[in-house]
A and B are shown apart, each in its own frame.
Chain A
Amino acid sequence: MSKNYFEIKRAGINTTFQDQGRNNLYHIGIPFSGAMDNRNFQISNKLVGNDLNSPTIEFAYQGPLLKYFGDNINFAITGDVKFMVQKKNKVIEGKCYQSFTLENGDEIDIVTTNKSVYGYLAVSGQLDLNYQWSSCSINTKANIGANNGKKIEDGKKIYISKINKNLNDKKLNYINTKIENIRVIQGTNFDYFSDEGKNIFFEREFTVSKLTDRMGMRLEGPKIENIVDTNIKSEGLIKGVIQVPADGNPIIMLSDHGTIGGYPKIGVVISADYDKLVQLTPGSKIKFKKVELADAETLFKLYDLETQNLISQI
């Protein structure tokens, strides 16, 4: 066992280990998983000098309280997060997007995310985790990944197998922006819905409901009427697909979604907007804006360039 570890004094609401996720398993029913907000995930790794796709600790709303034992190590938190670092004689108010050094006995208390859902904690080293299909990402539905596919629990330990000795301070000036307009491409069953239903989808406001997790985001608002059939023969799904079941309330598939589904697809969230979509808290208002495929491709290129730019500034 490694001598460097965190003791989990409080696990938090939905704390998991996440990396870039796993590929090529949809056909057997295993979703992609991986960090929900890919940009913040990668930035957290860069801030501590890790490979961009190293495993991190992902938390939602209230994060964990961790006590550290071992040699000095750096950590960084990304997202919009309130946290404290408890040192021997003082408490430091944490700041996102910059690295801090932890000494033996220090504590990180991730109090809450501010008007957002997910945050990332990366440490300058390698978390000692089990991999399944080349990923440690925890999928709590199928119990796949590190920690036997279960959320992180109180009282357990997180070991760090290799520490980077290079503890340079790193920092990035970045502020997460919120979006209200989610851009979508029409879905493959768009014509299943009444003209009024289609108009409602693109013109009215929806509210993110409390029934939202890593699998999906349920929306509430005006009902979208289906005039063809409220079921289709089950077929594959991808993240970002917006299905509308018989009750007329849209559901957006997120990273741990079921791999096949039988509800008509009214739209698909474009790749460029996914990281921001997942950060919308219950009660947030959203509107869907229609874009064409070519625009979506350009928007993603720009978004990806921006992410790479941010990473290269660190």
Chain B
Amino acid sequence: MIKNISNLGDAALYCDFGTEVNKEINTKVIQYFKSIQQENIDGINNLTPSYNKLIISFDLRKKNFKTIKKLIENLEVINQDKLVSNKIKIPVCCDKKFALDIKRLEEKLKISRDKIYEKFFSKEFFCYMTGFIAGMPFLGDLDNELRAKRLETPRVKVPKGSVGLTEQFANVYTFESPGGWNIIGNTPRIIFDNSKESEPNLINPGDTIIFEQMTQDQYKDYNE
């Protein structure tokens, strides 16, 4: 299933599953990621699954490229049907104080904001990966009509909870951070909680996400 394994530097394996971004390839990445995680292999430090790659970094004092490569090639991979996938609802308030880039999107996409929201909220999203900043989920796929580029000049500070769109993906800023995604609303739901060490992420690769529109009053009174 892995098309090619090469080395990324001297302490990581670069597993290439293809060049496209789709659910099928990404599911294979997640299968490998979870299978390796289960094995608890001594010397493996970190696994980074993404759309179509998996990076395995290891402690060069304990293992090397050859030994890890062999382990991965002989790995028994969990069956796709056995992958755990949660369905998670994320409430989003689209009041204009939160929807920082809705006007820009109307102009770039040449459709009304009502149409943008209608399409966005009627979609079921798939979580391809989490990361860049802690817990940030990369969710796909947006309808073709909603695909826009990043801001030409990224914001220095995107508020925590911001829901953004870029190209075929949606995401949520898990805390205040610089960023260039088109912001269309804000969620009060906590997506990353670093006090929960065993499960800090609400959303994990493979999960299904549904965004639900909420009013300003509901946002204010929101309680998990």
Contacts and interface: CB of A to CB of B under 8 A. Distances in A.
Interface of A: 23-30, 32, 132-133, 141-144, 185, 187-188, 233-238, 240-241, 258-261, 265, 268-271, 293, 296-297, 300, 304
Interface stretch (B57-65, B101-109, B113-121, B216-224): B57-65
Contacts of A25: 46
Contacts of B27: none
Contact of A238 (B8, B177, B200): B8
Give the bracket for the number of chain B residues in contact with chain A: 35 or more
B203 to A, nearest CB: 10
Interface of B: 6-12, 14, 19, 21, 33, 45-55, 57, 60-61, 64-65, 129-136, 138, 174-175, 177, 192, 194, 197, 200-201, 205
B8 A26 contact: no
Contacts, number: 134
B9 A260 contact: no
A133 B199 CA distance: 11
B134 A300 contact: no
A187 B133 contact: no
A233 B49 contact: no
Nearest to B203: A28
Interface-centre pick from A32, A188, A293 (highest chain B CB count, 10 A): A188
A15 B45 CA distance: 26
B129 to A, nearest CB: 7
Given A27-B46, A27-B47, A185 B132 contact: no
A30 B134 contact: yes
A25 B135 CA distance: 10
B10 A293 contact: yes
Nearest to A303: B60
A234 B133 CA distance: 13
Contact of A268 (B8, B64, B174): B8
B194 A237 contact: no
A28 B45 contact: no
Given A29-B134, A258-B132, A293 B21 contact: no
B172 to A, nearest CB: 12
A233 B9 contact: no
Given A26-B55, A142-B134, 17 more contacts: A23-B46, A29-B133, A29-B192, A142-B175, A143-B175, A233-B19, A233-B50, A233-B53, A235-B50, A236-B55, A238-B9, A240-B9, A270-B10, A271-B9, A293-B7, A293-B65, A300-B60
B131 A28 contact: yes
A273 B36 CA distance: 29
A260 B51 CA distance: 11
